[in-house]
Structure 1
């Protein structure tokens, strides 16, 4: 970080601190998301925000090697107990937390003591992926669907907080005050909400937010999830974004919607290709589709992820694409007639709520960028449930375990080049560590041990 950037951050921190003081906000939660998808935090008094923005807050780099049980792995790029990082709150992205009176939130950019960006900083990697696309004239709009299950149980027991049918008005009525408070708190924190509704699984709801640039989209996932968690707690309820909540359920997805843009035009619409795709839009999507097995090591990072990623659950268990096909891993959404230029996008259905959203954005953008360079072409679209097609159709199932996904990531040169060797090797180390952690555990045990981690 050069002196000019440090000065800019200090000035932004000073302005934000003055605004927080005027609003009676005492403290700022500074968060980052680790390799296992756990959101971790340090907090500073609002009066210290200027200093923290410029000089950072100390944090051990060992947390990049934490598993979901908080044990710390040893590896080639692990620092162990030695060393320090500086977490710089991004005051430009600061939000007052309506669900936690007196608190604000800011995502952290992580740097080493030498002022260089930390190689495991997912937010920085996502920003670098955006910059690489911009250098070629492209922009991206992205958003995450945020699903969560709500429990009225005691302790770690999961008792659905609503009992009505999937998508039923009964579920909304049962938790109308709660859902209104979620909506009000998220909106008051500066997030543009598109919709909120009951979902399919037991006790499950979903909120969808407006598309934005990829780094902001990842920031928004963290902000919205922690707001939901706080509102749930105040209502005497407990929220979980875990991939699986009940072993015989369908789990929580974290579907990514993404579109490629150039010169103000959405390249997922208005072209001569299938369903109106342009050639760059198709190549970007083809790059993502071809690398989905490797991307699962990032977007489906839990042992529980592979209990969710099965056919007939609309989880995208097959490496194929299709127009509005909810069983395909890549679903093309064209929008209503006349709205495609604004709304057309690809939805990646295979990812879940255990994923680090910054690493997801970095990986997906890197895959799409590689597809652009390769002028990749999508295979034939699938217009039926791919699980019903025989092997002669050549549609492969996505990895069914962490180990399969890790091997795919290890062999993908484009992703390693984009994310860096240190990040890729660390992801693989943590994934294999967690696979070993749950080795021999039955489905019920896996779900019980991961239910409240995310």
Structure 2
């Protein structure tokens, strides 16, 4: 047993921890949890905890359903909302097959494989997500209208506001579980908030996002609100994205920085961005995985929907933030397409592999979009070579189906399951008769 596992066992004994929750996600990014007693943990570290993988979305077929959840001791944290004594802790798990091999269907393993590709090329992949979400007053049932907890706007400071109190409590709880927060503020929509997590390696970031969502839901329940990460919960209002700042490091050196390059971007960074743009439609069914995601992308309110890049251009899919001349480590790119409901493990794996493909193949970065892309005509965008992202989940699934990069990154099992799930979601959605259509019943 390694030192980290020994430290966990010692802490559990010293802190009177009676319950250990083992966390992992299904293919869609839904958090799963099983609680074990402290006496079972040493065996879990050594052999894993058995469960029925076929009961978890996308994890295993019925004919090969036995799976093992093996806790990662480096992710051990106490859960502050469960009370001090007796305590409850959690660890994220890696999923294994009965013969001890990593399960190819485990989203965490999909990201580990992508990170290994980066490591082979000498890179470490860092991410910094800006996570948006809405807070609503509770509803008795889904037929009631959504009522935001406030009518504030971007960066508004409202004395004794519900959102401000909510963010303060949430941030304190995130820090209690070891997740550092960089910024927080009210977003543009009524009841919409944003909390930005500090830079970390992509695996840590993905674990942190899953914990973040749990904390937000927990605090919202405690304060009598309903929190949602749905990309577009209200028409005519801004959607919730998860703009993510990205960088590659070679040891302690930022591989995206070149003091002599345009915007201080290195050739590596330019090829990485070119890879993101080239493959952005192919990865869309994962970075924007729901029918509702495309109402955010194509519903206005500054959501990116065209494949282009720009310096401080918020209409671009990839933005190059303002560089701080005295901080070479801060050189980075921002991918603005991903939404808050994505499975972070799969989304970051694909974003990384798309960028690495650009580096490996020496993709040329197209010309920068200097204008507001949304204000250009279709003809002007075509003349500039600016192509749209998929306009629906159906189009995104079609783009994904033809992608060798997505198939290779996700692996055969996950690729097939995600594609089948997205096609089924589109069929289910297309069969619905919506409130919009019913409103026309007396006209037609």
Q: TM-score, normalised by structure 1?
A: 0.88
Question: Helix, strand or coil: the match of 2:337?
Answer: coil
> Are positions 1:247 and 2:232 aligned together?
no
1:292-337 Cα distance to aligned partner (Å, 9 max, x none): 0011111100010011012642221111111111121111123334
Tell me, in whole angstroms, the C-alpha distance in 1 between the residues paired with 2:52 and 2:159.
Answer: 43
Which one of the candidate residues 206, 221, 227 is aligned to 2:209? 221
Task: Write the distance in 2 (CA, Å) between the matches of 1:370 and 1:208.
Answer: 28
Q: CA deviation at 1:220?
A: 0.7
How far off its partner does 1:154 sit? Answer: 2.5
Of the three residues 95, 114, 118, the one matched with 2:77 is 95
Q: RMSD value over aligned CA atoms? A: 2.2
Q: State the alpha-carbon separation in 2 of the partners of residues 445 and 40 from structure 1.
A: 35
Given the alignment, which residue of 342, 357, 362 partners 2:329?
Answer: 342
User: Does the residue aligned with 2:274 lie in a helix, a strand or coil?
Assistant: helix
Match of 2:66 among 70, 80, 84: 84
Based on CA coordinates, which of the two structures has the bigger radius of gyration?
2
SS at 2:317 equivalent: strand
Is 1:278 matched up with 2:266?
Answer: yes
Change (3 A) 1:28 1:275: same
Asked whether the 8 Å contact 1:162–1:171 carries over to 2, the reply is no
Whole-angstrom distance in 2 between the partners of 1:333 and 1:281: 13
* Conservation of the 8 A alpha-carbon contact between 1:293 and 1:399: yes
Quickly say closer, same or farther: Cα 1:443–1:105, change in 2 above 3 A. Answer: farther
Match of 2:165 among 165, 171, 177: 177
Secondary structure in structure 2 of the residue aligned to 1:334: coil
Q: What are the within-5 Å matches in structure 2 for residues 319-358 of structure 1?
A: 319-339=307-327, 341-358=328-345
Residue 113 of structure 2 is matched in structure 1 by 128
The answer for the alignment partner of 2:23 in structure 1 is 31
Identify the residue that residue 442 of structure 2 maps to in structure 1: none
CA distance in 2, matches of 1:91, 1:53: 8
Which deviates more, 406-415 or 324-333? 406-415
Long gaps (5+) in structure 2: 438-444
Q: Which one of the candidate residues 29, 44, 55 is aligned to 1:52?
A: 44
Q: Pick closer, same or farther for the CA change 1:442–1:49 going to 2, 3 Å.
A: farther
Offset of residue 262 of structure 1: 1.6
Q: Deviations over 1:386-410 (max 9, x none)?
A: 1222232221110011121122222
Aligned-partner Cα distance in 1 for 2:394–2:104: 23
Moved more, 416-425 or 54-63: 54-63
CA contact (8 A) 2:282 2:399 kept: yes
Structure-1 separation of matches of 2:405 and 2:11: 43
Q: Does 1:309 align with 2:309?
A: no
- Tell me how far apart the structure 1 counterparts of residues 160 and 318 of structure 2 sit (CA, whole Å): 29
Cα contact 2:239–2:303 (8 A) shared by 1: no
Structure 1 residues 418, 82: closer, same or farther in 2, change over 3 A? closer
Aligned CA distance change for structure 1 residues 275 and 207 (closer, same or farther; 3 Å): same
Is 1:139 the equivalent of 2:121? no
* 1:291 equivalent in structure 2: 279
Q: Which one scores higher on RCO, CA 8 angstroms, separation ≥ 6?
A: 1
Deviates more, 1:43-52 or 1:360-369: 43-52
Q: Secondary structure at the match of 1:427?
A: helix
* Residues 51-74 of structure 1: CA deviation (Å, up to 9, x unaligned): 2232222333335546xxxxxxxx
SS at match of 2:281: helix
Helix, strand or coil: the match of 1:169? coil
1:12, distance to aligned residue in structure 2 (A): 3.7
Q: Is 1:269 aligned to 2:261, yes or no? A: no
- Which is further off, 170-179 or 379-388? 170-179
The answer as to 2:101 corresponding to 1:116 is yes
On the 8 A contact 2:237/2:301 being kept in 1, the answer is no
SS at match of 1:149: strand
